Protein backbone atom coordinates (compact mmCIF):
# COMPACT_ATOMS: atom_id res chain seq x y z
CA UNK A 1 0.00 0.00 0.00
CA UNK A 2 1.48 3.41 -0.90
CA UNK A 3 2.44 5.60 2.05
CA UNK A 4 0.19 8.62 2.53
CA UNK A 5 2.21 11.84 2.12
CA UNK A 6 2.72 13.58 5.47
CA UNK A 7 3.20 17.34 5.52
CA UNK A 8 3.83 19.03 8.86
CA UNK A 9 4.03 22.72 9.74
CA UNK A 10 6.50 23.45 12.54
CA UNK A 11 5.71 26.97 13.71
CA UNK A 12 8.48 26.97 16.35
CA UNK A 13 8.03 29.96 18.70
CA UNK A 14 5.75 31.83 16.31
CA UNK A 15 2.07 32.82 16.28
CA UNK A 16 -0.15 34.06 19.04
CA UNK A 17 -3.55 32.44 19.51
CA UNK A 18 -5.12 35.12 17.29
CA UNK A 19 -2.52 34.58 14.55
CA UNK A 20 -2.91 30.81 14.79
CA UNK A 21 -6.67 30.99 14.26
CA UNK A 22 -6.24 33.34 11.34
CA UNK A 23 -3.80 30.86 9.77
CA UNK A 24 -6.10 27.86 10.22
CA UNK A 25 -9.09 29.72 8.80
CA UNK A 26 -7.02 30.68 5.75
CA UNK A 27 -5.50 27.22 5.31
CA UNK A 28 -8.54 24.96 5.60
CA UNK A 29 -10.37 26.02 2.41
CA UNK A 30 -7.10 25.81 0.48
CA UNK A 31 -6.48 22.16 1.44
CA UNK A 32 -10.09 20.95 1.63
CA UNK A 33 -9.59 18.39 -1.15
CA UNK A 34 -6.27 16.94 -0.05
CA UNK A 35 -5.92 13.26 0.82
CA UNK A 36 -2.52 13.88 2.44
CA UNK A 37 -1.85 13.87 6.16
CA UNK A 38 -1.57 17.52 7.16
CA UNK A 39 -0.20 18.28 10.61
CA UNK A 40 0.09 21.66 12.34
CA UNK A 41 2.60 22.02 15.19
CA UNK A 42 1.82 25.25 17.06
CA UNK A 43 3.49 26.46 20.25
CA UNK A 44 1.87 25.08 23.44
CA UNK A 45 -0.23 28.21 23.95
CA UNK A 46 -2.03 27.85 20.61
CA UNK A 47 -2.59 24.06 20.68
CA UNK A 48 -6.13 24.21 22.07
CA UNK A 49 -7.20 26.87 19.59
CA UNK A 50 -5.85 24.98 16.59
CA UNK A 51 -7.44 21.74 17.85
CA UNK A 52 -10.82 23.50 18.12
CA UNK A 53 -10.60 25.07 14.67
CA UNK A 54 -9.65 21.89 12.88
CA UNK A 55 -12.44 19.67 14.31
CA UNK A 56 -14.33 18.12 11.43
CA UNK A 57 -11.32 18.30 9.09
CA UNK A 58 -8.51 15.85 8.41
CA UNK A 59 -5.87 18.19 9.88
CA UNK A 60 -3.93 16.76 12.82
CA UNK A 61 -2.28 18.78 15.58
CA UNK A 62 1.15 18.11 17.06
CA UNK A 63 3.08 19.66 19.94
CA UNK A 64 6.73 20.62 19.46
CA UNK A 65 8.04 18.87 22.58
CA UNK A 66 6.95 17.00 25.71
CA UNK A 67 8.48 15.58 28.89
CA UNK A 68 8.84 11.83 29.29
CA UNK A 69 7.34 11.67 32.81
CA UNK A 70 3.59 11.70 33.50
CA UNK A 71 3.82 14.44 36.13
CA UNK A 72 6.21 15.85 38.70
CA UNK A 73 8.60 18.64 39.60
CA UNK A 74 9.61 19.62 36.06
CA UNK A 75 8.96 23.36 35.86
CA UNK A 76 8.08 24.55 32.39
CA UNK A 77 7.41 21.09 30.95
CA UNK A 78 4.23 19.33 29.75
CA UNK A 79 3.44 15.61 29.67
CA UNK A 80 1.98 13.34 27.03
CA UNK A 81 -1.25 13.04 29.04
CA UNK A 82 -1.64 16.84 29.06
CA UNK A 83 -1.35 16.90 25.27
CA UNK A 84 -3.75 13.99 24.80
CA UNK A 85 -6.29 15.74 27.04
CA UNK A 86 -6.30 18.60 24.51
CA UNK A 87 -6.88 16.12 21.62
CA UNK A 88 -3.37 16.66 20.31
CA UNK A 89 -2.41 13.64 18.18
CA UNK A 90 1.33 13.91 17.62
CA UNK A 91 4.51 15.43 18.99
CA UNK A 92 7.81 16.54 17.47
CA UNK A 93 10.72 15.06 19.41
CA UNK A 94 14.42 15.75 19.06
CA UNK A 95 14.25 18.79 16.81
CA UNK A 96 17.80 20.04 16.31
CA UNK A 97 16.90 23.37 17.91
CA UNK A 98 15.95 21.51 21.07
CA UNK A 99 19.09 19.38 20.88
CA UNK A 100 21.39 22.35 20.26
CA UNK A 101 19.78 25.17 22.25
CA UNK A 102 18.15 23.27 25.12
CA UNK A 103 20.47 20.30 25.58
CA UNK A 104 17.95 17.62 24.57
CA UNK A 105 19.89 14.37 24.78
CA UNK A 106 19.55 11.01 23.09
CA UNK A 107 19.01 9.54 26.57
CA UNK A 108 15.99 11.77 27.13
CA UNK A 109 14.69 10.94 23.65
CA UNK A 110 15.02 7.23 24.35
CA UNK A 111 12.46 7.80 27.12
CA UNK A 112 10.30 10.35 25.31
CA UNK A 113 9.60 8.28 22.19
CA UNK A 114 8.14 5.27 24.10
CA UNK A 115 6.26 7.64 26.44
CA UNK A 116 4.61 9.30 23.44
CA UNK A 117 3.69 5.94 21.91
CA UNK A 118 2.30 4.67 25.21
CA UNK A 119 0.01 7.71 25.29
CA UNK A 120 -1.08 7.17 21.67
CA UNK A 121 0.74 10.27 20.49
CA UNK A 122 2.48 9.89 17.15
CA UNK A 123 6.14 10.83 17.61
CA UNK A 124 7.80 12.81 14.81
CA UNK A 125 11.43 12.08 15.62
CA UNK A 126 13.95 14.48 14.06
CA UNK A 127 17.46 13.34 13.20
CA UNK A 128 20.14 14.98 11.09
CA UNK A 129 23.79 15.77 10.74
CA UNK A 130 25.71 19.02 11.13
CA UNK A 131 27.52 20.63 8.22
CA UNK A 132 30.86 19.49 9.67
CA UNK A 133 29.64 15.89 9.88
CA UNK A 134 28.42 15.97 6.28
CA UNK A 135 31.67 17.52 5.07
CA UNK A 136 33.58 14.89 7.05
CA UNK A 137 31.65 12.05 5.42
CA UNK A 138 29.94 11.10 8.71
CA UNK A 139 26.30 11.62 7.76
CA UNK A 140 25.33 7.95 7.94
CA UNK A 141 27.25 7.43 11.16
CA UNK A 142 25.41 10.34 12.84
CA UNK A 143 22.01 9.20 11.58
CA UNK A 144 22.58 5.64 12.70
CA UNK A 145 23.80 6.71 16.13
CA UNK A 146 20.77 8.97 16.69
CA UNK A 147 18.27 6.40 15.42
CA UNK A 148 19.70 3.54 17.47
CA UNK A 149 19.84 5.64 20.63
CA UNK A 150 16.52 7.46 20.31
CA UNK A 151 14.55 4.35 19.30
CA UNK A 152 16.25 1.99 21.76
CA UNK A 153 13.12 1.67 23.89
CA UNK A 154 10.69 1.01 21.04
CA UNK A 155 9.66 -2.56 20.09
CA UNK A 156 10.17 -3.58 16.47
CA UNK A 157 6.43 -3.89 15.97
CA UNK A 158 5.90 -0.28 17.05
CA UNK A 159 8.71 1.31 15.08
CA UNK A 160 6.57 2.09 12.04
CA UNK A 161 4.31 4.19 14.29
CA UNK A 162 7.19 6.65 14.62
CA UNK A 163 7.45 9.23 11.84
CA UNK A 164 11.10 10.05 11.22
CA UNK A 165 12.10 13.48 9.93
CA UNK A 166 15.50 13.73 8.27
CA UNK A 167 16.53 17.30 9.05
CA UNK A 168 20.13 18.14 8.14
CA UNK A 169 21.05 20.92 10.57
CA UNK A 170 22.78 22.92 7.85
CA UNK A 171 19.52 23.13 5.91
CA UNK A 172 17.22 24.28 8.72
CA UNK A 173 16.26 27.91 8.39
CA UNK A 174 19.25 28.61 6.15
CA UNK A 175 17.65 28.58 2.71
CA UNK A 176 20.17 25.84 1.80
CA UNK A 177 17.94 22.94 0.81
CA UNK A 178 19.42 19.43 0.45
CA UNK A 179 19.80 18.26 -3.12
CA UNK A 180 17.35 15.56 -4.20
CA UNK A 181 20.26 13.09 -4.19
CA UNK A 182 21.25 14.00 -0.62
CA UNK A 183 17.63 13.83 0.62
CA UNK A 184 16.92 10.53 -1.13
CA UNK A 185 20.13 8.87 0.08
CA UNK A 186 19.63 9.94 3.70
CA UNK A 187 15.93 9.02 3.81
CA UNK A 188 16.62 5.61 2.21
CA UNK A 189 19.40 5.03 4.72
CA UNK A 190 17.05 5.89 7.60
CA UNK A 191 14.47 3.43 6.23
CA UNK A 192 17.17 0.75 6.08
CA UNK A 193 18.42 1.37 9.63
CA UNK A 194 14.94 1.40 11.18
CA UNK A 195 13.90 -1.51 8.96
CA UNK A 196 16.81 -3.55 10.27
CA UNK A 197 15.55 -2.93 13.80
CA UNK A 198 12.32 -4.66 12.80
CA UNK A 199 10.11 -1.87 11.48
CA UNK A 200 7.69 -2.66 8.69
CA UNK A 201 9.98 -1.02 6.16
CA UNK A 202 7.29 -0.15 3.66
CA UNK A 203 5.03 1.41 6.27
CA UNK A 204 7.63 3.65 7.88
CA UNK A 205 7.21 7.28 6.96
CA UNK A 206 10.38 9.31 6.50
CA UNK A 207 10.08 13.05 5.96
CA UNK A 208 12.60 15.57 4.71
CA UNK A 209 12.94 18.90 6.51
CA UNK A 210 15.22 21.86 5.84
CA UNK A 211 14.28 25.02 3.91
CA UNK A 212 11.45 23.35 1.97
CA UNK A 213 9.63 26.02 -0.06
CA UNK A 214 6.74 25.83 -2.53
CA UNK A 215 9.28 25.93 -5.38
CA UNK A 216 11.43 23.05 -4.12
CA UNK A 217 8.72 20.84 -2.60
CA UNK A 218 7.50 18.89 -5.63
CA UNK A 219 10.95 17.57 -6.59
CA UNK A 220 11.76 16.50 -3.02
CA UNK A 221 8.36 14.96 -2.38
CA UNK A 222 8.55 12.91 -5.57
CA UNK A 223 11.65 11.04 -4.33
CA UNK A 224 10.96 7.36 -3.65
CA UNK A 225 12.02 7.38 0.01
CA UNK A 226 10.77 10.87 0.93
CA UNK A 227 7.23 10.49 2.25
CA UNK A 228 6.60 14.06 3.25
CA UNK A 229 8.07 17.24 4.65
CA UNK A 230 8.58 18.97 7.97
CA UNK A 231 8.32 22.64 7.10
CA UNK A 232 9.43 25.59 9.24
CA UNK A 233 9.65 29.04 7.65
CA UNK A 234 7.36 28.35 4.71
CA UNK A 235 4.71 26.94 7.07
CA UNK A 236 4.07 30.34 8.61
CA UNK A 237 2.19 31.47 5.53
CA UNK A 238 -1.03 29.57 4.75
CA UNK A 239 -0.66 30.03 1.00
CA UNK A 240 2.92 28.72 0.93
CA UNK A 241 2.07 25.82 3.23
CA UNK A 242 -1.01 24.92 1.15
CA UNK A 243 1.19 24.96 -1.97
CA UNK A 244 3.55 22.47 -0.32
CA UNK A 245 0.62 20.23 0.69
CA UNK A 246 -0.56 20.36 -2.93
CA UNK A 247 2.94 19.60 -4.25
CA UNK A 248 2.83 16.29 -2.39
CA UNK A 249 0.11 15.16 -4.81
C1 LIG B 1 12.17 22.97 10.88
O2 LIG B 1 12.00 23.82 11.73
O3 LIG B 1 12.00 21.79 11.17
C4 LIG B 1 12.55 23.37 9.53
C5 LIG B 1 12.79 22.44 8.64
O6 LIG B 1 12.64 24.73 9.29
P7 LIG B 1 12.83 25.42 7.85
O8 LIG B 1 11.81 24.84 6.91
O9 LIG B 1 12.61 26.88 8.11
O10 LIG B 1 14.23 25.13 7.40
User: How distant, in Å, are the alpha carbons of 134, 159, 194 from that of 154?
Assistant: 27, 6, 11
pLDDT tens sequence across 149-172: 999 999 999 999 999 999 999 999
| CB distance 10 to ligand 1 below 6 Å | yes
Local structure of residue 31 (DSSP, 8 states): T
pLDDT above 80: residue 218: yes
Q: Which residues are catalytic?
A: 95, 167
Ligand 1, atom nearest to 165 Cα: 3
pLDDT tens sequence across 36-60: 999 999 999 999 999 999 999 989 9
Give CA–CA dist 70/165, Å, rounded.
25
Model confidence at 200, pLDDT cuts 50, 70, 90, reads confident
pLDDT above 90: residue 1: no
Q: Is 65 helix (H, G, I), strand (E, B) or coil?
A: coil
Q: Which of 167, 177, 183 gets mutated to test ligand 1 (max ligand atoms within 8 A of its CB)?
A: 167
| CB distance 172 to ligand 1 below 6 Å | yes
For the chain, the first-to-last Cα distance in angstroms comes to 16
Where would I find the beta strands (DSSP E) of the chain? 6-10, 37-41, 60-63, 90-93, 122-127, 163-166, 206-209, 228-231
Give CA–CA dist 52/203, Å, rounded.
30
Give CA–CA dist 40/57, Å, rounded.
12
Amino acid sequence: MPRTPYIAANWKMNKTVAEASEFVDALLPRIAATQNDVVICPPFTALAEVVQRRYGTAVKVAAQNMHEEDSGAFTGEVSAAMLVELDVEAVILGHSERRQLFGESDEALARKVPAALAADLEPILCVGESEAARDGGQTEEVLERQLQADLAGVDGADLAKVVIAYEPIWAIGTGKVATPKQAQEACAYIRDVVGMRGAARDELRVLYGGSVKPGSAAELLALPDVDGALVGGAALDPEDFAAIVEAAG
